[in-house]
Amino acid sequence: MDVIPGAWRRTAAGAGLLSPQGEVAPTIFAEMSAAAVRFDAVNLGQGFPDEDGPAEVLEAAREAIAHGANQYPPGRGIPDLRLAISEHQQRFYGLTPDPDTEVLVTAGATEALTATLLALIDSPDDEVVVFEPYYDSYAAIVALAGARLRTVPLRRPDFQPDAEQLASVVSDRTRIILVNDPHNPTGAVFSPEVQAEIVRLANRHDAIIVTDEVYEHLAYAGPHVPIATLPGAAERTLTISSGGKTFSATGWKIGWVHGPAELITAVLTVKQFLTYVNGSAFQPAIALGLRLPDAYFDEARTALLHKHELLAEALHAAGFGVHSPQGGYFTVADATALGGADAAAFCRALPERIGVAAIPITAFVAPEHHADYAGLVRFAACKRVEVLEEAARRLKTLG
Ligand code: PMP
Ligand code: GLN
């Protein structure tokens, strides 16, 4: 809950962005994927699907290339994708962003997040409140933007934040409350009470809510509720998502952000100097994807839920304690009973030991708070059923 001195930081010596340990470090995802390749391990680490998304979406990208969509698209994104994003927000959530002024296409959710924080942070005293564990890029971007990171812990068993702790961290210094719902890595979906409290605090302290909803179509307990739909939220909320998860196309990097026009314009002023634009041929394909019938989204969610169930069974059988997720790609498991009380060491050894790769939750936690999450491991469920079955066989050999 304190200001985090040990987070990623920019150096004055021209060495770029250093890890909390002061190292030039690859991301945990790159490190574990490399280990998976080295030891021919089943990769349940980095969150990417191992099969393609809908054939018509892939075909639309091929068509777009064949028909000359190969030069810079417009800075805000092609008009038809912005329209498709707006229609999608209306169809699923009743939100009606104006495609011309309130929607911006970005190079993945990652660029939307980066441009948003760089655009909105004014001073080194500005604070960004994140929920810990947090997606790894958040702390890195806060460091790049030169702001202060404040954390609110998500607590077991359901990984919801405590309302009083949240209220004690948000103050008039808070520029941004950064929400990720459904949540990576814990699989939490924020309760209506937590969402309402975030909106109340943002209004009280005049903070902006930035919400990362890349797993919006993977909420298992009921329909996803964007925080922008709550009373008093839309006028101070930037909603971010991307096509990577929804269409199993994480390499395409087509994302977006929508919200009040003046905030979107501010984000655009930064975005134009990060990538300027990207993905000319992928933009029309994602537009087509966003207009697929409801059945596509329902089936994708059901299929992933089934995979989570297979994974949970395998983890139970191997002796892990399992936290079944309410949303997203990942299942969190407790490795303590398997000698994994130090999950970081456990995960580093796992590819060579049994041929499975996974990510320690401490990779998403500031060093000061590692002890609170030390035995937890994140497993990706977004892999083919036969791959999960092979992982199950290998995990059984752990005991
Ligand atoms: N936010 C979260 C919570 C994620 O898990 C990811 C990546 N899987 C991203 C952002 C990045 O999304 P993109 O690939 O669209 O940049
Ligand atoms: N979001 C993916 C994950 O959580 C990884 C993306 C990346 O490697 N940057 O696994």
Per-residue pLDDT tens for 224-275? Answer: 999 999 999 999 999 999 999 999 999 999 999 999 999 999 999 999 999 9
Best residue among 46, 113, 135, 189 to mutate for probing ligand 1, ranked by most atoms within 8 Å of CB:
135
- pTM of the full structure: 0.96
Position 206 scores a pLDDT of 98
Tally Cβ neighbours within 10 Å of residue 144.
Answer: 18
Tokens linked to 172: 């008039």
User: Could you tell me which residues are beta bridge partners of residue 179?
Assistant: 211
Ligand 1 proximity of 185 Cβ (cutoff 6 Å):
no
Cα 48 to middle of ligand 2, angstroms: 7
**Alpha-carbon distances of 79 from 90, 128, 139, 382, rounded to whole Å:** 17, 32, 32, 31
Ramachandran quadrant class, 132 (left: phi over 0; alpha: psi -120 to 50; beta: rest): beta
Kindly identify the ligand whose nearest atom is closest to the C-alpha of 214.
1
Cα–Cα distance measured from residue 328 to residue 258, given in angstroms and rounded to the nearest whole number: 21
Mind listing the pLDDT tens digit for each residue in 369-389? 999 999 999 999 999 999 999
Cα–Cα distance measured from residue 176 to residue 162, given in angstroms and rounded to the nearest whole number: 18
Best residue among 131, 184, 253 to mutate for probing ligand 1, ranked by most atoms within 8 Å of CB:
184
Cα–Cα distance measured from residue 82 to residue 258, given in angstroms and rounded to the nearest whole number: 10
Position 304 scores a pLDDT of 98
Which residue's alpha carbon is nearest to atom 8 within ligand 2? Answer: 29
Kindly identify the ligand whose nearest atom is closest to the C-alpha of 216.
1
Cα–Cα distance measured from residue 201 to residue 23, given in angstroms and rounded to the nearest whole number: 36
Which residue's alpha carbon is nearest to atom 9 within ligand 2? Answer: 29
Which residue's alpha carbon is nearest to atom 1 within ligand 2? Answer: 47
Ligand 1: which atom is nearest the Cα of residue 244? 15
Among 394, 236, 388, residue whose Cα is nearest residue 318: 394
Count Cα neighbours of 395 within 13 Å in the Cβ-side half-sphere.
27
Kindly give the parts of the chain with pLDDT less than 50. Answer: 1-6
Q: Residue ranges of the domains in the chain?
A: 6-52+295-398, 71-290
Best residue among 159, 186, 212 to mutate for probing ligand 1, ranked by most atoms within 8 Å of CB:
212
Cα 278 to middle of ligand 1, angstroms: 16
Position 13 scores a pLDDT of 66
Position 98 scores a pLDDT of 98
Domain 6-52+295-398 CATH superfamily: Aspartate Aminotransferase, domain 1 (3.90.1150.10)
Cα 338 to middle of ligand 1, angstroms: 30
Kindly identify the ligand whose nearest atom is closest to the C-alpha of 245.
1
Backbone phi, then psi, for 326, in 5-degree steps? -95, -10
Cα 110 to middle of ligand 1, angstroms: 6
Task: Tell me the CATH number of domain 71-290, given options 3.40.640.10, 3.40.50.720, 3.90.550.10, 3.50.50.60.
Answer: 3.40.640.10
Cα 203 to middle of ligand 2, angstroms: 32
Position 399 scores a pLDDT of 77
Among 24, 311, 333, residue whose Cα is nearest residue 156: 333
Cα–Cα distance measured from residue 168 to residue 163, given in angstroms and rounded to the nearest whole number: 9
Position 8 scores a pLDDT of 72
Torsion angle of alpha carbons 11, 14, 15, 20, nearest 10°? 10
